Amino acid sequence: MMRWQRYVKIIVGGAILLTLVICGLAAPVLAPHDPEQQTLANRLRPPSLATTSGRYILGTDNLGRDLLSRIIYGSRISLLVGAATVIVAGLFGCIVGAIAGYFGEMVDEIINKTAEIFLAFPFLLLAIAIMAFLGQGVLNLILALVLSRWVQYCRVVRGEVLSLREREFVQAARALGGRDMYIIARHVLPNTLPSVMVIATFAMAIVIIAEASLSFLGLGVPPHVPTWGSMLSEGRTYMYRAPWLTIFPGMAIFITVLGINLLGDGLRDILDPKLSRQG
């Protein structure tokens, strides 16, 4: 494989993700209409570049709201929930996994049993149960997804730390009088970053799908906040009469997840030594 070909996935995936980030940050500028403005006279307008009441490129929904504007604003929630969940779950899972792998024995046993309790529940079912208990809200949604996703980081980091703690550089740091937490933070965790980065990119795609699923079920953010999942839920009633209500939000989810998966796959190809040697 030529060297430049190894970066194609990263370039394409990164371009998609960067475009979505720009759309989310510049939503007030890019959105042609107010996403919450209801105009019943324009309800269920088909996609068109020009209408008698204004321009609705992707059409309008059952309340006359511009679908393009709602999709642009919906990217904010998806990226916010995805990024926040990956960062918080990643930090917590990596720290707990490093402690379990480094100290072992009773600490490792307690953390492992706790992780097994979380793994006993299906990911989405656990998130649904937590959201049903906490109620709707962005912070509650992030908390529910964090509690459902931290175990993956913990298990991977623990496995790597079990081998890293016996390496010469860790033994040397310990012989020089380095404290355990300093050795973990300075010498152990940095060596797990390549694996964590790959897990994080794939996990973000899963989290975005989970957020859309919870919003589709009415367990995500409040109803007045535009999200891709809630748009799919509202559009299913009009699937035959106005298919654009489900097609375009579905395409937004598909393109986002595709871009993140390409980015994660490209990072794995570059950061994994075995794949690099095979290439």
Q: What is the pLDDT of residues 35-80, one digit of tens each?
A: 888 888 888 888 887 655 567 888 888 888 999 999 999 999 888 9
Please say whether the beta carbons of 257 and 211 come within 8 A.
Answer: no
Q: Beta partners for 51?
A: 54
Distances (CA, A) of 229 to 89, 174, 194, 256, 262: 22, 50, 31, 13, 22
DSSP annotation of 39 = -
- DSSP designation for 196: H
Average pLDDT over residues 210-236: 86
Determine the pLDDT at residue 153. Answer: 92
Place of tokens 């965790």: 189
Q: Per residue in 69-120, pLDDT tens?
A: 999 999 998 889 989 999 999 999 999 999 998 888 888 899 999 988 888 8
Question: So where are the chain's domains?
Answer: 69-278
Split at pLDDT 50, 70, 90, the class of 19 is very high
What distance in Å separates the CA atoms of residue 201 and residue 208, rounded to the nearest whole number?
A: 11
> Could you tell me the pTM of the whole model?
0.84
Is the per-residue pLDDT at 128 higher than 80? yes
Domain 69-278: which topology? Answer: MetI-like fold (1.10.3720)
Distance, in Å, from the CA atom of 219 to the CA atom of 213, rounded to the nearest integer, reads 9
Answer whether 35's CB lies under 8 Å from 70's CB.
yes
CA 208 to chain CA centroid, Å, is: 5
Distance, CA of 22 to chain centre: 17
180 and 166 in contact (C-beta within 8 Å)?
no
Q: How confident is the model at residue 5 (pLDDT cuts 50, 70, 90)?
A: low
User: Which residues, 6 or more positions from 243, have their beta carbon under 8 angstroms from its beta carbon?
Assistant: none
What tokens does 147 get? 């509690």
Is residue 154 very low, low, confident or very high in pLDDT (cuts 50, 70, 90)?
very high
pLDDT for residue 53: 52
Which residues are 66's β-sheet partners? 60
Q: Report pLDDT for 54.
A: 61
